[in-house]
Amino acid sequence: MKLSLLVLSLIIFIFDVNVTLTCPLYTSGNVTWLKNDVILQNGNKYVMNHANKTMTINMNPFASESDLGPYKCIFLDSFFSFILKSPPTMLKAPKHLSLTDGNDLHLECFGYSYPPPARVKWSKDGGPEMTSLSDPRAVASLENKVNIGIGRLLISGVATSDQGLYSCTLENSVGGNSSEIMVRINSKYAALWPFIGILVEVVAIIIIIVIVGRKKARSKVDNKEN
C-alpha cells in the first residue's frame, strides 16, 4: 500500500498558547493521530475532535521538550505530517557562581527546541562573542541530547579580570534565546587577610610591650643612679 504525503511546517512558541492541528484529509471517518509514529490517545494532554478532524495539544501546564517534532494524521492510505518547531527555551540554571583565581571556569546552559540548537554563543558583560581567537583560554562547545542543547564554556586559569556577567545564547533555524550567570572571582589570598590582620595586631602589641618594658627598665636604672 502506497501512502500519499503532504508536509506542513509550523513554528510554535509552546509556552504561549495551546496548539490545534487540523487534519486536511478528505474523509468521513475518524483519523488517527501519531507523534513520532506512536499513536496518541484522547485525554487531557491531547484533546481530539473527530467530527472536526482536529487535535488540540495542551501546552500549559503540560508543556515539555517532547511536545516538539513531527505529528501525523492518518486515514486509510493517506497521511498528513505536521512539524512543530520552536526556538530554544532556556531551562533553569544557577544564576551565580564563585571560584578562586587560578582555577578553571566551567559554565553550562540548557535549552530545548526543535530542531535542536545548532549553535552556542558566549559573551561577557554585553561584549562580543567569546572565542578561542579572542581569548586562547576560552573553549565553547555544544552538545545535543534528543531536543535539549547543552552549551558549555571553559576558561582555563581565571583571573579577577574574568569576573562579570556571562551570557549564553542557543540558536537554531527558528531563532535563539539566552540565559545569564554572574561569575565572581575571589583572590587566592583573600582568606589570608584576616590572619595577616591578626598577626599584625599581635606584632604591634608585642612591640608596644617591649618598648614599654624598656622604658620602665631605663627608669629603674636612672632612679638607682640618682
Mean pLDDT of the chain: 83
* pLDDT one-digit tens code per residue, 83-108: 888 889 898 888 999 999 999 999 99
- Please list, residue by residue across 14-33, b when 16 or more beta carbons sit within 10 angstroms of its beta carbon and e when fewer do: beeeebebebebeeeeebeb
Q: Whole-model pTM?
A: 0.72
Are 68 and 95 part of one and the same domain? no
Alpha-carbon distance 160 to 100, whole Å? Answer: 9
| Dihedral pair phi/psi, residue 220, rounded to 5° | -65, -40
* pLDDT one-digit tens code per residue, 166-206: 999 999 988 999 999 999 998 877 666 666 667 777 777 88
The three-class DSSP label of residue 29 is coil
Q: 70 burial class (0-12, 13-18, 19+ CB within 10 angstroms)?
A: middle
Per the domain annotation, does 222 fall within a domain? no
Beta-carbon contacts of residue 194 (< 8 Å; ≥ 6 apart): none
* pLDDT one-digit tens code per residue, 101-148: 999 999 999 998 888 999 999 999 999 999 888 889 999 999 998 888
Are 162 and 99 part of one and the same domain? yes
Q: What is the mean pLDDT of residues 3-20?
A: 60
Distances (CA, A) of 111 to 46, 117, 148, 177, 187: 24, 8, 6, 8, 33
What local confidence, expressed as pLDDT, does residue 43 receive? 87
Are 68 and 98 part of one and the same domain? no
Q: 174 burial class (0-12, 13-18, 19+ CB within 10 angstroms)?
A: middle
Alpha-carbon distance 77 to 62, whole Å? Answer: 32
Last residue of a domain, one of 86, 119, 134: 86
The three cell numbers locating residue 20: 490545534
Per the domain annotation, does 51 fall within a domain? yes
Q: DSSP per residue over 90-107, as a string?
A: EPP--SEEEEETTSPEEE
Are 58 and 117 part of one and the same domain? no
DSSP 8-class letter at 16: T
Q: What is the mean pLDDT of residues 54-79?
A: 82
What local confidence, expressed as pLDDT, does residue 8 receive? 58
Per the domain annotation, does 179 fall within a domain? yes
Are 178 and 116 part of one and the same domain? yes
Q: Supply the range of the domain harboring residue 180.
A: 91-186
Last residue of a domain, one of 86, 107, 138: 86
CATH number at residue 133: 2.60.40.10
Beta-carbon contacts of residue 146 (< 8 Å; ≥ 6 apart): 65, 116
Which residues, listed in sequence order, are joined to residue 100 by a DSSP beta bridge?
Answer: 186
* pLDDT one-digit tens code per residue, 13-32: 555 678 888 888 887 788 99
DSSP 8-class letter at 3: P
Per the domain annotation, does 12 fall within a domain? yes
| Dihedral pair phi/psi, residue 190, rounded to 5° | -60, -40
Last residue of a domain, one of 67, 86, 105: 86
Per the domain annotation, does 217 fall within a domain? no
Is the separation of the CB atoms in 35 and 69 below 8 Å? yes
Per the domain annotation, does 201 fall within a domain? no
Per the domain annotation, does 223 fall within a domain? no
Name the region of 77 (left: φ>0; alpha: ψ -120 to 50; beta: rest).
alpha
